[in-house]
Amino acid sequence: MSFETLLTERRDRVAIITLNRPQALNALNSTVMRELRQLLGELETDSGIGAVVLTGSEKAFAAGADIKEMQSLDFVDAYTGGFIGGWDEIAGFRKPIIAAVSGFALGGGCELAMMCDFIIASKTAKFGQPEITLGIIPGMGGSQRLTRAVGKAKAMDLCLTGRMMDAAEAESAGLVARLVEPERLLDEALEAAAKIAAFSLPAVLMAKEAVSRAFEQTLTEGLRSERRLFHSLFATQDQKEGMAAFVEKRKPAFRNR
């Protein structure tokens, strides 16, 4: 099977998925997310696969949701059309999925990495939720999963200032499970995935389910309210300004409206 925005490979019982939109630093548009969900759906029922590694390029795991695709969206379309609805189905993938992150994991890219079961990062990785700089907020779990992973102080810092956190800070904050030299990234993730894939599948699925349950209680409500807030920001002029400024490569002039 071939995809427009993904590369796929199998190594024994491990599937490797590589996000492949290099011209846009792997920005997550609707095609990427549709293809990713389709592929994961197939891997979930594929008895030959026991674990998945999701990765990007050396420069970017993913630099966020695609700003050019979101730029002209308004509130009513975002809300009634359920914009990004279903994107977080990835968090419901039942087999273990490891994010191997090098370079930028920003906005939706950071959120996608956090939907995986754990993150192995190269020392070059940079994490952040820069949505505030565009006049919006995280919409795919950033305000919820990041807060659970690193605590309120750092989550507030990242979501309110839009600053990036380097790989060492992300590891010490608890967002990253393992930090490795750039050239070790894929091998480290593949070895971890192969080890998991060699264990009993029912036990692995239940271990994932059990840990996820501890992590996710009350997450549903948090995500629901986050989605409403995220949609409503497409009613603001500042969202249009923030995204136009990005596309036009200039500083935004926010008017607080």
Please list the active-site residues: 65, 108, 111, 131
Q: Which of the ranges 10-18, 39-47, 130-138, 182-190 carries the binding residues for ligand HXC, by CB under 6 A?
A: 130-138
Q: Does 96 bind ligand HXC (CB under 6 A)?
A: no
Query: Of residues 36, 52, 90, 134, which one binds ligand HXC by CB under 6 A?
Result: 134
CA distance linking residue 185 with residue 176, whole number of Å: 13
User: Which residue lies nearer to ligand HXC by CB, 93 or 104?
Assistant: 104
As measured in angstroms, the least distance from the Cβ of 158 to ligand HXC is: 12
Q: Does 108 bind ligand HXC (CB under 6 A)?
A: yes
Q: With respect to ligand HXC, which residue has the nearer C-beta, 23 or 45?
A: 23
Selection from 145, 154, 132 nearest residue 242 by Cα: 132
Cβ(116)–Cβ(54) under 8 Å?
A: yes
Q: Distance between CA 115 and CA 98 in Å, rounded? A: 9
Question: Which residues, in sequence order, are CB contacts of 102 under 8 Å at separation 6+?
Answer: 55, 56, 57, 58, 59, 60, 61, 121, 122, 124, 125, 182, 185
Of 220, 225, 232, the residue nearest 88 (C-alpha): 220
Task: Pick the binder of ligand HXC from 106, 115, 170, 223 (CB under 6 A).
Answer: 106
Q: Establish if 138 lies at the interface with ligand HXC (CB under 6 A).
A: yes
25 binds ligand HXC per the rule CB under 6 A:
yes
Q: Does 36 bind ligand HXC (CB under 6 A)?
A: no
By beta-carbon proximity to ligand HXC, the closer residue of 70 and 190 is: 70
Between vectors from CA 179 to CA 175 and to CA 180, what angle results, nearest 5°? 155
Interface with ligand HXC includes 228 (CB under 6 A)?
Answer: no
Q: Where are the extended beta strands (E) located within the chain? A: 6-11, 14-19, 51-55, 60-62, 97-101, 104-106, 118-122, 126-128, 164-166, 178-180
Among 131, 171, 188, 226, binds ligand HXC (CB under 6 A): 131
Q: How many residues bind ligand HXC (CB under 6 A)?
A: 20
84 binds ligand HXC (CB under 6 A): yes
Tell me whether residue 210 is exposed, middle or buried, using C-beta atoms within 10 angstroms of its C-beta: 0 to 12, 13 to 18, 19 or more.
exposed
Nearer to ligand HXC (CB atom), residue 26 or residue 154: 26
Answer yes or no whether residue 135 interacts with ligand HXC by CB under 6 A: no
**Would you tell me the crossing angle of helices 142-150 and 219-232 to the nearest 10 degrees?**
130
**Interface contacts to ligand HXC, rule CB under 6 A:** 24-25, 27, 63-68, 84, 104, 106-108, 130-131, 134, 138-140
